Structure 1
Amino acid sequence: MTPSTDHRPRAALFDLDGTLVDTNYLHALTWWQALHQNGHDVPMARIHRAIGMGGDRILGHLLGAERDHRQDQRLRDAHHALYAAWFDSLPVLDRAADLLRAIAARGLRIVLASSASADEVKAIRAALGADEVISGATSADDVDRSKPAPDLVHQALALIGAAPEEAVFVGDTVWDVEAAARAGVPCIGLLTGGISEAELTAAGPVTVYRGPPELLRALDSSPLAGQAPPPQG
């Protein structure tokens, strides 16, 4: 593969939860319910800060390595069942679909790179209604390790034959920024997932926007246009 010789990106990789759909707090609530039903008292604020990790990592992060691993699948299944009840009414963030279409109109290929399960990704794509501009999607089901490991980012790049330097990742959590950095891809941070600007900026994205509308307005001077500002912090 020969990387592009100009400095314009060829691909925009997007996280989903908290980036294009307003679902981080739904995940926090349904993980809390699943944990509570199985005898675990974990503060919801702590759960929220772990959202963005895949199901293969979040339980270790919340319950520790010494937990009873025999419960893991039951907890994941409980969370999935509780969250699936929202599949028909997932809230799309303002201008999210417009943002995807505007990026595609500028010649970039869009790939979704989410730690969600395959059926969650399918439900989110249905809610977005922008499949005509989406070139591909990865999910936690496609890789051995989810975010903050870089596997999903590598898989998203492979889907379209792009090199890391030819892509920009857009996400809303420190786990997104870390996964992108470990894959060698610059990351734009959005504040729509509930992470504070200070914390998200400290993780090292090239820039931070309040949400899809602000990024859409600034698109032609953003890293997606190949004019990346210096890293913040």
Structure 2
Amino acid sequence: MTSPAPQLVVGFDLDMTLIDTVPGFVAVLAALGAELDVDFPVDEMTDRLGPPLDMMLADHLAPEEIAPAGDRFRELYPDHAVHPVPLLPGAREAVDAVRRQGGRVVVVTGKFTRNAQLHLDHLGLDVDHLEGWVWGVGKADVLRREGAQLYVGDHVHDVEGALAAGVLSVSVLTGGCTREELVAAGTHVVLDDLAAFPAWLEGYLTRSGVTA
């Protein structure tokens, strides 16, 4: 008896994969800097979004200041960072493409879960599961638990998470990492942006036999 093909489950990163987080980060860093009297180099800090906030703050604050500053950043975030942040091109269509195949959409992000949910709600992006505050290879446990076949991200650490989970790594060039960096990290597929994802997904399903 032939076993049924597995259900399609697609994981997506959030920042700079589904949403353009830069305007929101700039606004929150400016507000935090004003409170702390610190002139954060916001252009430099938002050039390659993806690493955890504590890592971003580490070069600009004393060690004992990082955790409180991170807490305050997350408190400021809802009022400053949700409304300015748009979907990236093709994001809604990419999610819809998974839905048309009867698949599940899982968002796995390093962002604080509550703030990530605010973005999804504000932009009307319906997903089956959101997992926040996981980074790099830490995403692998979530992807395995949710039964994902592929993970879509923009950063080399998204590639690390996909490879650690043993799933297909699909990378988009909407973040700060170059094609060469993503390929060197081991990604299987590189797309210019999510606008190319629906056509790619259709071809992938035809080749792999994954179904709804």
Alignment TM class, shorter chain as reference = 0.7 to 0.9
Whether 1:102 aligns to 2:97 is yes
TM-score, structure 2 normalization: 0.79
Deviation at 1:20, TM superposition (A): 0.8
Q: Following superposition of structure 1 onto structure 2, how do residues 25-104 of structure 1 map, counting pairs within 5 Å?
A: 26-27=24-25, 30-31=28-29, 34=32, 38=36, 43-44=41-42, 46-48=44-46, 51-60=49-58, 62=59, 68-84=62-78, 85-104=80-99
Tell me, in whole angstroms, the C-alpha distance in 1 between the residues paired with 2:20 and 2:14.
9
Say if 2:139 is the partner of 1:152.
yes
Encode CA deviations 1:179-221: one digit per residue, 9 max, x unaligned: 2222222211011123322222322211111111111233212
Corresponding residue of 1:209: 191
2:20, 2:87 within 8 Å by CA — same for their partners in 1?
A: yes
Is this contact kept in 2: 1:139–1:152, CA < 8 A? Answer: no
Residues 35/86 of structure 1: CA separation in 2 closer, same or farther (3 Å cut): closer
Deviates more, 1:76-85 or 1:109-118: 76-85
Shift of 1:76: 0.9
Secondary structure of the corresponding residue to residue 102 of structure 2: coil
Per-residue CA distance 1:8-64 (angstroms, 9 max, x = gap): 66310011111111114543664476468646666546523552122354445x46x
CA RMSD of aligned residues (A): 2.9
Compared with structure 1, are the counterparts of its residues 30 and 227 closer, same or farther at alpha carbon in structure 2 (3 Å cutoff)?
Answer: farther
Is there any run of 5+ residues in structure 2 with no aligned partner, and where? none
Identity percentage of aligned residues = 24
Listed as ranges, the gaps of 5+ residues in structure 1 are 141-145, 229-233
SS in 1 for 2:18: coil
Using the TM superposition, name which of 99-108 and 78-87 deviates more. 78-87
User: Contact (CA 8 Å) 2:48, 2:176: kept in 1 or not?
Assistant: no
